[in-house]
Structure 1
Amino acid sequence: MKKTVHVVGAVIENDAQQILCAQRSPSMSLANLWEFPGGKIEAGETPQQALKREIMEELDCVIDVGDKVEDTTYEYENVIVRLETYKAKITEGAPIAKEHAQLIWKKRIELPALEWAAADIPAVEQLTK
């Protein structure tokens, strides 16, 4: 039986109505695909707490977590991923790619042009409706 992983992703929007997109590094699984930054929910954490911790670890930023965007379960070859995405705003710091290959800001209409990890696609579709 495949392992199920519960993860969270931040849909971080700036004042110019652009959304932060993170490219997975070549050494990660799903290498070079795009995703919303975030990560695994640890035992005892709420999705919001996990998202704040992960964004601090990955991007060196403090965020406020807003409304849920999407809740998706996707079955990859080796793992089942449940991804909850939330709107977020940076309250302190500027994003630094500590784990990702690169970070870029894109307008909603530009999001579908990137090659997204499968679990992130429903959130992209939700944002570009």
Structure 2
Amino acid sequence: MKQIEVAALVLIDDNRVFAAQRKNLGPLGGMWEFPGGKLEVGETGREALVREIQEELGVTIEIENYLLRVEHQYPGFFIIMHAYVGHIQEGSIQLHEHQASRWLKKHELWQIEWAAADIPIVQKVEQLLA
């Protein structure tokens, strides 16, 4: 079984969290997620996240803290996801890899269809938002 290790960004601003919708490709097409991506060989989660967010969203971020680790079995692969809270240091978000994005308030978190591995992160974010 294929195993992948990824890092995800929980971007909170003005009591809202950023969510990105995957393009309609592959088994998770159209699902909503926290942006991020795969760790490359020798890369830490923090390093991967800074690189991936620059590639996916065109912004420079600063990571504030580690939030949690999620392990999830999808059909065909097993994912280990490291979620970090961070903020934008420089730039404006531009979607390079996603088809849509939203800034969600606490009461809006469950109005979109999250990828299964992101759900534990959403539950944690619910506690972070006032």
How many percent identity over aligned positions?
Answer: 37
Counterpart position of 1:82: 80
In 2, the alpha carbon distance for the partners of 1:53 and 1:36 equals 15
Describe how 1:40-119 pairs up with structure 2 within 5 A: 40-119=38-117
Equivalent pairs, count: 127
Shift of 1:28: 4.1
Query: Is the counterpart of residue 33 in structure 1 residue 31 in structure 2?
Result: yes
Give the alignment partner of residue 18 of structure 2, picking from 10, 13, 20.
Answer: 20
TM-score normalised over the length of structure 2:
0.93
Q: Which runs of 5+ in 2 are unaligned?
A: none
TM-score normalised over the length of structure 1:
0.94
1:3-54 deviation per Cα after TM superposition (whole angstroms, max 9, x unaligned): 110001000112x121110000112430110000000001111100100000
Shift of 1:111: 1.2
Shift of 1:85: 0.6
Q: Which runs of 5+ in 1 are unaligned?
A: none
Counterpart position of 1:11: 10
3-state SS, counterpart of residue 127 of structure 1:
helix
In 2, the alpha carbon distance for the partners of 1:109 and 1:69 equals 21
In 1, the alpha carbon distance for the partners of 2:106 and 2:82 equals 19
Shift of 1:114: 1.4
In 1, the alpha carbon distance for the partners of 2:93 and 2:3 equals 29
In 2, the alpha carbon distance for the partners of 1:91 and 1:97 equals 17
Moved over 3 A (4+): none
